[in-house]
Structure formats: C-alpha cells, structure tokens
C-alpha cells in the first residue's frame, strides 16, 4: 500500500469525534514502535518529519523507512512534513513523496503568512498533496520554532485565513505549547475559543500542536537514572480527548515519545553497565515507544479500530 493523504482520515475523524495521531519520527526504532502500536490498534496513522529530523536522518532514509513500514503492515499511513519553515523545504518534500506538508508561517506578519501559505497550496494542490498551515503562536521551543509567549488564534481571522489561502487544515493556538515544559500552574485549554472556531468553520479539520502530556512516570524514571527534568509538565490527556470531540482531527505527539524512549535507555544502561551493543538498549526503547503510542491511540485520540 502506498502512502496516503489525510483527507479520508480527517473526514471520518470529524464525523465520529476522534483525532488521528501525528507522531514525529527520527529513526528506525521510533517508526517500528509507532507502526507496531497502530497495527495492533488498527488505527490510521500520520508519521511526521520535522525539518530537524529530515536533516538528521536524511529525507531518502526516512521515506524508505516509511515504505518498509508500509510493506510490513496494511495500515493507511500519511507521510507529513511538520513545521516546514519555507516554500523550498515544502516543495522538496512534496517532490520527494510526502503526501502532506505543513507550512509554518505563524511567526510572520499576517499578510506574509497568507502569501507563503498560498504559494505552498498552489504547488501542493497541483500535485495532489494536502497542506496544513498555522495561525496563532505557541509558546515553547521545538527545533527552529521558538516563542516566549502564546498568541491565541483569532476565530474570525481563522476564517479569513483559510478562505484566502485555501489550506486544507489549520493548526490553532488555544493553550498548548511546544516542548516538555508547557505549564507552571494549572493546565488549561481555551475550549470556548475552539468551539467558536469550529462553529465558524463546520466540518473543517483543526490541528493541535504541542500536545504531548509529559507522563510523569517517564520524567521520574529519567530523573532516577541521571536526567534533570524538573518541572516538566504537559497537557492532561482528558483535555486532549475533549478537543478531539470538538473538531480537532490531528493531534501532534513528539515529546512523550522522546521521554519514554530516553528514560528506558537510561534505565537499561544504568542497570547493565557492561552492555554496549545498541541493539540491547534500543529494543526496550522501541517497546516503550510502542506502549506509549498504544496508550495515546486508545485513551487520548480515540482512534482504535478506525480503519
């Protein structure tokens, strides 16, 4: 089965009140763990590649790993560029076989965000590729994406933006943030804002970035074995599940995978100091990724048995 676009995934997700997981990938073990979890849960899947992951692994390697995953499963898998910083990178990914790209112009003035998004849309749509854009600004740091403050998405501006750009889905800012240090106090999402956006654009797929929950068991495990993750705190899973019932069709998850994987590697190496074969410590790390993704599919996204 070839990689697919997300349209049919999102159409069903919107109608049935769940979200599709968009999991960031960087290497073989992460891809294997994610795909194994989705296969067991019979869940649709978006594997997404950031600009940093593309630079680290190489686009050809990533694409071939995804093709291998497709050959080993019967899952519908979408290959998506996460946070494309400019037209050229989006174009390179489209030309390289990606079925969905995100152009992130959220850091630009409004008119410039519209212009670059429209440029990507015109190129992508001529080649049958889906385009996600972003309006509003998330606090936190994720590779080249950095902001000290959040700028929540204006509902009326969202309508204008989608109309003028023709983007297929829109990442909105309602209180999530990038990275593992999302909240210092009580975690809150602006559901009134989300409901207004959904009401103004019925049937339109929305996206949540910065939606990792930062499970404390992995923070504690990492700290026990030498990490320094004091204050790491994410979005409660019940809030994400609620968002998935209100028009959010795609939820991005990255930090949770990193935490689960790294905590287990730290644990293994601390308990087995004589070991040096990467296969020994990457095996439990891969299992941790699988377990984490299954948990997200079942408890947060609600997309088990949706293929």
Q: Which residue has the tokens 């070991």?
A: 275
Specify the pairing of strand 140-142 against strand 145-147. antiparallel
Residue 212, both tokens: 């990792």
Residue 234, both tokens: 């994410």
Residue 302, both tokens: 């609600």
Cα–Cα distance, 11 to 6 (Å, whole number): 9
**φ, ψ dihedrals at 221, nearest 5°:** -60, -45
Cα–Cα distance, 250 to 305 (Å, whole number): 16
Q: Which residues are CB-contacts of 91 (< 8 A; sequence separation ≥ 6)?
A: 120, 123
Cα–Cα distance, 41 to 253 (Å, whole number): 17
Cα–Cα distance, 81 to 162 (Å, whole number): 19
From the candidates 11, 82, 220, 238, which is the catalytic residue? 82
Question: Does 82 qualify as catalytic in the annotation?
Answer: yes
CA dihedral 142→181→175→203, nearest 10 degrees, is 50
Tell which residue, 237, 150, 155, 242, has the closest CA to residue 204: 155
Q: Which residues are CB-contacts of 198 (< 8 A; sequence separation ≥ 6)?
A: 204, 206, 246, 247
Cα–Cα distance, 285 to 28 (Å, whole number): 11
Residue 43, both tokens: 């869940």
Q: Catalytic residues, which ones? A: 82
């Amino acid at each position: 089965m070839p990689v697919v676009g997300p349209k049919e995934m999102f159409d069903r997700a919107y109608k049935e009140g769940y979200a599709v997981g968009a999991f960031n990938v960087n290497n073989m073990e992460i891809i294997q763990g994610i795909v194994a979890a989705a296969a067991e849960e019979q869940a649709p899947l978006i594997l997404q590649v950031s600009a940093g992951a593309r630079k680290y692994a190489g686009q050809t390697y990533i694409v071939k790993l995804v093709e291998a995953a497709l050959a080993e499963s019967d899952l519908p898998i979408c290959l998506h560029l996460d946070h494309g910083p400019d037209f050229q990178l989006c174009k390179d990914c489209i030309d390289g076989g990606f079925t969905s790209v995100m152009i992130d112009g959220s850091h630009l003035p409004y008119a410039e965000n519209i212009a670059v998004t429209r440029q990507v849309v015109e190129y992508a749509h001529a080649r049958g590729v889906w385009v996600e854009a972003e309006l509003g600004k998330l606090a936190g740091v994720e590779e080249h994406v950095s902001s000290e403050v959040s700028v929540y998405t204006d509902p009326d501006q969202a309508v204008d933006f989608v109309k003028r750009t023709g983007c297929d889905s829109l990442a909105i800012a309602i209180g999530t943030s990038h990275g593992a240090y999302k909240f210092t106090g009580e975690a809150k999402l602006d559901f009134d804002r989300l409901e207004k956006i959904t009401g103004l654009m019925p049937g339109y797929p929305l996206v949540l970035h910065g939606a990792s929950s930062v499970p404390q068991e992995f923070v504690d495990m990492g700290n026990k074995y030498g990490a320094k993750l004091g204050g790491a705190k994410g979005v409660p899973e019940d809030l994400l599940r609620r968002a998935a019932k209100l028009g959010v069709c795609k939820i991005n998850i990255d930090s949770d995978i990193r935490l689960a994987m790294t905590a287990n590697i730290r644990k293994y190496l601390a308990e087995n100091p004589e070991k040096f074969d990467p296969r020994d410590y990457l095996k439990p790390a891969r299992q941790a990724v699988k377990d984490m993704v299954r948990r997200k599919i079942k408890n947060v996204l609600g997309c088990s048995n949706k293929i």
